[in-house]
């Protein structure tokens, strides 16, 4: 009876752990199911390979531009003059494409970070309550001004208090 009454005010930690483990297991099964589908043929493998190319191409291309700028500054300057002729709408389109390509990954990481912050903030009241409950147990805790100097309510403690060096 006491357990059922307490569960009205506080979540059962064991039940919460079981539910959380089930959710994680289902998520992992769903994630694993994405990779258990066998690829049908050469086209699927080709598309998987092409999907992995943009990030390395952008990274190595940028590094290559720095190297070319040091090796042949005249050629690099001429090439950059050509880039200066690209119209603004084309730059906006390029920015949108790159933003959508990399933005989804960034958004997923950002949402995980926000979720982590929310979980941490949800634990704050419990931590504050636990800290307040533990503070009086410190050996160097200040004595409230209305507390008696001797523990006279317990005879054994009173005797021990009087025999301290």
- pLDDT reported for residue 80: 87
Domain count, the chain: 1
Question: Per the domain annotation, does 65 fall within a domain?
Answer: yes
Rounded Cα distance between 84 and 91, Å, is 10
Q: Quote the tokens at residue 70.
A: 């040091």
Distance between CA 66 and CA 73 in Å, rounded?
Answer: 10
- The domain of 59 spans 53-85
Region of 143 (left: φ > 0; alpha: ψ -120 to 50; beta: rest) is: beta
Evaluate whether residue 31 is within a structural domain.
no
> Are the CB atoms for 53 and 60 separated by under 8 Å?
no
Specify the pTM: 0.37
Q: Is residue 66 part of a domain?
A: yes
Is 57 inside any structural domain? yes
Q: What whole-number percentage of the chain has pLDDT above 70?
A: 84
In a domain, 129, yes or no: no
Q: Is residue 135 part of a domain?
A: no
Give burial (CB, 10 Å; 0-12/13-18/19+) of 162.
exposed
pLDDT tens per residue, the chain (165 residues)?
A: 776 777 667 777 788 888 899 999 888 888 777 767 676 788 888 888 887 888 889 889 999 999 999 999 898 988 888 888 889 899 899 888 888 877 776 777 777 778 888 888 888 888 888 888 888 777 665 655 555 554 557 777 777 777 766
Tell me if 150 is assigned to some domain. Answer: no
């Amino acid at each position: 009876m006491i357990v059922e009454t307490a569960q009205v005010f506080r979540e059962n930690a064991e039940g919460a752990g079981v539910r959380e483990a089930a959710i994680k297991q289902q998520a992992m099964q769903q994630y694993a199911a994405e990779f258990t589908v066998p690829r049908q043929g050469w086209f699927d493998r080709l598309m998987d390979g092409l999907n992995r190319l943009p990030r390395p191409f952008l990274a190595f291309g940028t590094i290559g531009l720095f190297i070319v700028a040091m090796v042949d500054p005249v050629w690099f300057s001429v090439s950059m003059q050509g880039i200066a002729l690209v119209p603004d709408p084309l730059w906006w389109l390029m920015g949108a494409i790159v933003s959508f390509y990399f933005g989804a990954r960034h958004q997923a990481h950002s949402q995980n970070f926000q979720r982590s912050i929310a979980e941490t903030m949800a634990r704050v009241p419990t931590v504050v309550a636990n800290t307040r409950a533990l503070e009086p147990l410190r050996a160097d805790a200040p004595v409230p001004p209305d507390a008696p100097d001797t523990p006279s309510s317990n005879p054994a403690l009173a005797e021990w208090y009087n025999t301290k060096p």
